[in-house]
Structure 1
Amino acid sequence: MPKFTRLAAALALCAASLGSLAAQAADEARYNQVAVRAEVSQEVAHDLMHVTLYSELQNTDPAKLADEITRTLNSAVEKARKAKGVTVSLGSRNSYPVYDEKGQKITAWRERAELRLESADFATLSQLSADLMGQLKMAGMNFSIAEKTRKNHEDDLIKQAVDAFKARAQLATNALGGKGYKLVNLSLNSAGFQPPQPIMMRAMSAKGYADAAAVPEIEAGTSRVSVSADGTIEVQMP
């Protein structure tokens, strides 16, 4: 048999042997493996308040309408910027035609523009919102957890989730009659659920807002922040 033929046959045999060993090793690596999951959660108080105000007007002249809306928004923005600790931004703005009863002829134009306010100081933002109600209308109010607050709570929950995972891994090992376990892999995931929060407000009448005398009484509520630990262990049998 030529030398190169014998060499090729030897290499093929080695490759087959290595493939067999690799497959065997892979099978052994999966031996007595158990998927384990642990999850911990915590209710966290909302510490960020969001308010959306808007101006909506109608005029037969679209240019005059746009100018009036802009002046109203500029005045509100100027006043809002004076409030300490309040982030001010403009939201959506759109206009659309108003038709006659037959829906054939445009009789006027209507425009709506939003002003969005955000702050961790609920009292200041509540007072500012009440003050602006003479110029604008309330579109919505909601609450959330600030990014820094969420991260701090998630960092604490990660430690708890790992401890909970270890406890479950040991429980599974004991249930199988193992003498110990090895950690094969572990992934940590966080999630936060923020359901719509009821808002308690007093003096919601149009007169109260027009006079800018009534300040909303706030119940910010909480959201549940959770961290899960998902992984695989390999139980070592006696």
Structure 2
Amino acid sequence: MDLGLRGKKAIVCASSRGLGRGCAMALAEAGCDIVVNGRDSAVLAATASEIREKYGVDVIEIAGDVADQKVRAALLAACPSPDILVNNNGGPPFRDFRELTHQAMIDGVTNNMITPIELIQAVIDGMAERGFGRIVNITSLSVYQPIPGLDLSSGARAGLTAFLAGVARTVAAKNVTINHILPGKFDTDRIRGSIEFAAKKAGTSFEEQASRQAADIPAGRLGTPEEFGQACAFLCSVHAGYITGQSLILDGGNYPSAF
């Protein structure tokens, strides 16, 4: 399927590895020029080089933590009129909520709620004026299904979802959409941290816990960043203009709900 994105410009936050990388790759495959971002400049450079070689699109690298205002300013300077914005950022580490300090909670909300909102504030009116915009926020299945130890991440991402529910409806008529993708268990550094946390709590090995978690998923496996990226690319496509304000669960059937 032609996604109708050739020549579009996309900012993909935290895209040097993991799910963000999967999104950047899929959008580049669809013909988008990409601004990629990541904290590790060497990893970021390798990702950018691979995208250029594979897909022949323009790629700009902006190193740093997207929660830093200077890094966000650099992203917008590199692409002041994006057609697509994919918000993504690492969440707080697994931690019992009793151990969360005041500053840790402020940082969690800044990283996973305030940062994407401020980026949306910066790009949404331009998208509306041009008559095309796609905003996708990578949140978490924990927005729907609580995960002990991820309480801060869950709360901040749920706040982002609720905040944008009304905003999405205000720009839908301008062909600007805002949606969320809620990943379950994907083969990323983040899920490996989750498995390590669970293994330590259960007193088992990493390998045993990993096998147990995969077996609990109806699909019988972890997801891949590549298939996640393709779902993101579709939500960014010209075919998805009637989908907005929605939360798409990608979890191999793990969340037990009929609706």
TM-score range, shorter chain: under 0.3
In terms of fraction of residues, the more helix-rich structure is 2
Q: TM-score, normalised by structure 2?
A: 0.23
Compare CA radii of gyration and give the structure with the larger one.
Answer: 1
TM-score using structure 1 length: 0.25
Larger relative strand fraction: 1
Higher relative contact order, chain-length normalized (CA < 8 Å, sep 6+): 1
